[in-house]
Structure 1
Amino acid sequence: MPDATDRRILRQLLADPAIANADLAERAGVTSASLWRRLERLRETGVIRAIESRIDWRALGYEVQVSLRFTLDKTEPRAFDDFMAAARKVPEVTEIQTFLGTVDLRLSVIARDMAHWQQVYRDSILTLPHVSDSDALMLVSTIKDVQELPL
């Protein structure tokens, strides 16, 4: 389990993933050597899996984001595998999640504008296999989007 120093390091990494190790060590109150050992241990134990960049799709011209929920035909033994394999091939699909309950899967899909969304929907989404029901939610605004943990 991470101790108080590890949690300080993690808080600083969450606030600024691109922080230089020297600055991170200073902010966490440890030496550079101690920071390196702690980061290695946090990676080895799986606490830190990766340092990632978060891309703002809107800044790249993708103005439409849709969350699609699917219920699959579960009488087909390969429904999940076939659906996920096909969904992975759609470049505009940014996230695939599976669920227990009435919804089996959720896709996050981005598009440049409504015309592009219609093209993606017609050419790629409607052709996904084994769908028995679907529902679409178009993102209007994001009120809260944090990746931070209460460390």
Structure 2
Amino acid sequence: MLDDTDRRILRQLQSTPEARAAEIAERAGVTPATYGRRIERLRVAGILRGVRGVIDWQALGYAVEVSLRVTLDKTQPRAFDAFIEAARAVPEVLEIQTFLGQVDARLSVIARDMAHYQQLYRDRLLTLPHIADIEALMHVARVKGRETLPL
């Protein structure tokens, strides 16, 4: 599906997404016109979903990150749908993942400090629908965090 030219373009785009298209094309060894056609083809194929700004939430005053492992009451019809819909409405929930197994969902949550997290936990997170059990895992350090793929 991807040839060597596509891989070179994607590697350059991942390494410096803020660069101008002409710069990325030059580093990938293609003309700007070829770069444009390839990027459009990758978008249409659903391989390249977009280029986005990544914001350092800690620089904005959020110092606490918590992962919540949630088990839902699956005896309730549409428990997953109701839970996910409500969790999406909490701005401090950065990520929602669902699983098969004992844990049904994982929420990645940020807060300004422990007092903010405690208020958020009591007022917004514990009130999410259909929670049977919840376990909080406080992040200590991010040892590895990448968004780039080995192309």
Aligned residue for 1:108, secondary structure, equals: strand
Deviation at 1:19, TM superposition (A): 1.3
Question: Are 2:84 and 1:84 equivalent residues in the alignment?
Answer: yes
Deviation at 1:31, TM superposition (A): 0.6
**1:73 & 1:27 partners in 2: Cα distance?**
53
Alignment map for 1:1-151 (pairs within 5 Å)? 1-151=1-151
Aligned length: 151
Q: Equivalents in 2 of 1:43, 1:107: separation in Å?
A: 29
- In 1, the alpha carbon distance for the partners of 2:4 and 2:53 equals 26
Matched AA of 1:107:
L
1:45-89 CA-to-partner distances (Å, cap 9, x unmatched) read 111011111111101000000000101001001211111111111
TM-score, normalised to structure 1, is 0.97
TM-score, with normalisation over the residues of structure 2? 0.97
Q: Secondary structure at the match of 1:22?
A: helix
What do residues 122-149 of structure 1 show as CA deviations (whole Å, max 9, x unaligned)?
1001111111111111111111111111
Distance 2:150 2:81 in 1: 36
Q: What amino acid sits opposite 2:67 in the alignment?
A: S
Q: 3-state DSSP class of the match of 1:50?
A: coil
Displacement of 1:33 in angstroms is 0.7
* RMSD (Å), alpha carbons: 0.8
Question: Stretches of 4+ moved more than 2 A in 1?
Answer: none
Query: Whole-Å Cα distance in 2 between the matches of residues 10 and 32 of structure 1?
Result: 14
Identity %: 65
